[in-house]
Amino acid sequence: MDQSLMLWTGENNSAATVNESGTVFDAMEGFPHNMTVVDNFVRAWTIINRPYKKVLATISGGSDSDVVLDICSKADKEKKIKYVWINTGLEYQATKDHLAFLEKKYGITITKIRPKMPVPLAVKKFGQPFLNKRASEYIARLQKHGFNWVDGKYEDLIRLYPKCKSAIAWWCNMYDNKRLNIDNNKMLKEFMIENPPAFKISSKCCYHAKKSVIHNIINTNKVDLSVFGVRKAEGGTRSTAYKSCFGSKDAPYGEYDEYRPVWWYLNGDKEEYCKACDVTHSRCYTEYGLARTGCCGCPFGRDFRHELEVAKEFEPKLYSAVTSLFKDSYAYMKAYHEFVKARS
C-alpha cells in the first residue's frame, strides 16, 4: 500500500461552512431557472448524501471541474468529500494558482499528488503521443513487433507478425466499424509507408500520469464514491467511455460508484450555472483564452498549436519543456498534414 496516497486519517477534510442550513432548497438559493441545473443538483444532493463513508472528488482546475466543485460544496451536507488534484508534470502555473484560490474560496484542502511517473518520464520510457489515442496504441504495438511499414494482405502480414493481430487488423482496415481502422485517419497508411516513424510512439503517458494514479488512490483508500467532471456534450474519447451520470466499478480496483455531476450539462446550462453561482475560472480561460486545460500541448489535443502559442506568451518555461518533450511528434504530425494537403 502506497502511504503517500492515503487521504483518510480521521480528520475532517474541510472547514467549509457552505450550506449550514441543511436542506436542498436552501442549497439552491440563487440558482438559475434552468431545469437541467435544478434536476441535476437534486440528484447530486441525493447521491452525495447517501451513506458513503469515503467520497473522492478529482479536481482538474478546468471549467467543468470548477462547476463540479461548486456543486459538491453545496451538496456535501456532512463535509465528507476529499478533494485531490493530479500534477501530471505539464500543468499550467495558472492552474496551480487557481487551486490555491479554490481552497481559500471554499475552505477546503485539495491534496496535490505527483505521480511516480509523470508525463515527461512516461514519454521518455514509452514514447510520444501522436495524432490520437487509438492510432498511437496500434502504432506502438506495431513498433514493438518490429513492423516493416509495408502494405499487404492481412493473411500475409499476420503470418509475419502472429502476436500482433489487433494492430495488423487496424493497419489492414479489417474492422467492421470503420472508426477502428487506420483509414479513419485520412492517408495515414500511405504517409507511414513513405515515412516510417523514427521515434517511439505511445499513448501510455496519460495512463501512468493520471488514470493509474486515480485508480491507486481509490484502491488504497477504499473509496466508496468517485466524483469527477465530464460532460456528454464535450464529445471525444472521455465522454464516449460513459453512458450516464452514474455507474459502478468492479475489480481490479475494488467496488465503488462513480458520479459525474455535470454529465447532462450543455454549454448553455454550464454558463447559466457559472453566472448565477459566481463560479470563477482560472486565468487559463479568463486571460490566456484557452478552451481547455490539462497537459499543455498534448499532441492528442485538437488545438495544441494554439496552446503552444499561448504557453510561449504566458508561460515560456512550460513552453520550452513541452516543445522539447514532444518535438518528434510535432514534426511528424506536421509532415503528415503536409502530406495529406499535397495529395488532396
R_g over Cα of the chain? 22
Check if the beta carbon of residue 225 is closer than 8 Å to that of residue 52. Answer: yes
CA distance 99 to 118: 19
DSSP β-bridge partners for residue 312 = none
pLDDT of residue 250: 67
CA distance 167 to 159: 13
pLDDT band for 239, please (50, 70, 90 cuts): low
E-strand stretches of 25-181: 55-58, 81-86, 110-113
Q: Which of the pair, 273 or 6, is modelled with greater confidence?
A: 273
pLDDT of residue 86: 96
pLDDT of residue 299: 96
CA distance 132 to 336: 13
Q: For the full predicted model, state whether its pTM sits above 0.85.
A: yes
What integer best gives the mean pLDDT of the chain?
A: 92
pLDDT of residue 105: 97
251-293 pLDDT per residue, tens: 555 689 999 999 999 999 999 999 999 999 999 999 999 998 9
From its phi and psi, is residue 92 left (phi > 0), alpha (psi between -120 and 50) or beta? beta
pLDDT of residue 7: 82
The three-state secondary structure class of 84 is strand
- Tell me the CATH architecture of domain 3-120+204-286: 3-Layer(aba) Sandwich (3.40)
Domain boundaries along the sequence of the chain: 3-120+204-286, 131-194
Q: How far is CA 88 from the centre of its chain?
A: 11
Q: Is the pLDDT of residue 332 over 50?
A: yes
Lowest pLDDT segment from 9-13, 25-29, 46-50, 145-149: 9-13
pLDDT band for 16, please (50, 70, 90 cuts): very low
93-139 pLDDT per residue, tens: 999 999 999 999 999 999 999 999 999 999 999 999 999 999 999 99
Q: How far is CA 318 from the centre of its chain?
A: 19
Share of the chain above pLDDT 90, in %: 86
Q: Is the pLDDT of residue 317 over 70?
A: yes
pLDDT band for 5, please (50, 70, 90 cuts): confident
- Verify cis geometry, omega within 30 degrees of 0, for the bond prior to 196: no
Beta 256-259 vs 246-249: how paired, if at all?
antiparallel
The three-state secondary structure class of 258 is strand
E-strand stretches of the chain: 55-58, 81-86, 110-113, 225-227, 246-249, 256-259
Q: Is the pLDDT of residue 12 over 60?
A: no
Query: Which residue is listed with cell 456532512?
Result: 78
Lowest pLDDT segment from 2-16, 82-96, 107-121, 190-204: 2-16
Q: Which of the pair, 7 or 144, is modelled with greater confidence?
A: 144
Q: Which of the pair, 7 or 154, is modelled with greater confidence?
A: 154
